[in-house]
Chains A and B, each alone.
Chain A
Amino acid sequence: MSSIYQEIILEHWKRPHNYGRIKSPSKKTSVHNPSCGDRLKLEILFNRGKVKEAKFTGQGCAISQASASLLTDHVKGKKAADLEKINQKTIIKLLGVEIGPARQRCALLSLEALKKIIEK
């Protein structure tokens, strides 16, 4: 049976990128998945219409943590308008494995946070 605990996810789970807070973020938000208790805070600093910094904190399973780590890497340097193009497919591609239906919400928690920030 193939496992979703492959290299990319494990690497980002053990050494998450961009974990922490930004001093004075342009935008921030937090999301919560009550069914498993995962919580995620996402902060973004824009500079001249581009993402200068993106950081997250929170607790969750390896999938949700790895996805937040990967997504914060991914958005850096992107124009605000380009953030809107990020979707489910982007996340799955970043994670590098198929995510079963039971774990979709874990994988997409960081995306939910990003969408919330864009809407603000």
Chain B
Amino acid sequence: MDTLLQQLINGIVQGSIYALVALGYTMVYGIMGLINFAHGEVVMIGAMVAISALGALMALGLPMGLAAPLALAAAMLVCMGLGAGLERIAYRPLRNAPRLTPLITAIGMSIILQNLAMMIWSRNYLTFPSLIEKVSFEVAGAHFSNVQALIVVLAGLSMAGLLLLVYRTRLGMAMRATSQNLAVARLMGVDVDRVIAAAFIIGSAMGALAGFMVGAYYEIAHYQMGFMLGLKAFTAAVLGGIGNLAGAMLGGLLLGIIEALGAGYIGDLTGGFLGSHYQDIFAFVVLIGVLMFRPSGLLGEKTGERA
């Protein structure tokens, strides 16, 4: 019984990270119908920049309490620039191209970013310095650490911030209008270019935060870490209903929990035939299952194509 609670806790922590990344996918998809394949790479670069910044700041003798927020800020800034650049250079010129075109571009950008990161940060696993003294709590036989708690709280806060932005500001209104109907929004005077750029920038900032968290949580980073993470986060977005903000959050949490429970119990379920190294397949099974039975996702609306 204690494993159940333990896996739930682990799942929620991992799930909040998925949710953060999923928001990046879902915003861009909601507004312009593009799967930004390179988003996982943005997350990875967030983690990498954070490592470099932490190293530099600590070498300057800054205390961790100061270095960590600064490094996070640096990662977010770099990623926001990266997101804006991606949108401006790679995707904007293709806005009227057939569907496959931007998708292939996105794959190309993902490869480029991965290899650039490998050249800059080497192909080795990098250790992410531990940011705070780890304290572990125990509840009903399950353990959770202050790092885990911090991740969940930070993720929750930033998601709340995003919701405020989207539902309480002019920019948010423009974003919602654009995601309903881009052409009409433009006719009504919405600066669509700006809205799309904003979606990329905000998504990338949240991606950087997620990258930072992954690094801090697992204390490790690698130039290929963005790929799987991105794929799973996308799955989370689809699970919740792509294009839907609340859906991305729900989908992220659910996927995290499904994965954690699945990894915990797969051995029992298959009589020991499959072990926990099959953890990664859950996301895909979920993805295929959702697409089969409820392609619009949990919170998404069914939309018909207009003839």
Is the pairing of A and B real?
no
The chain B residues found within 8 Å of chain A, CB to CB, are none
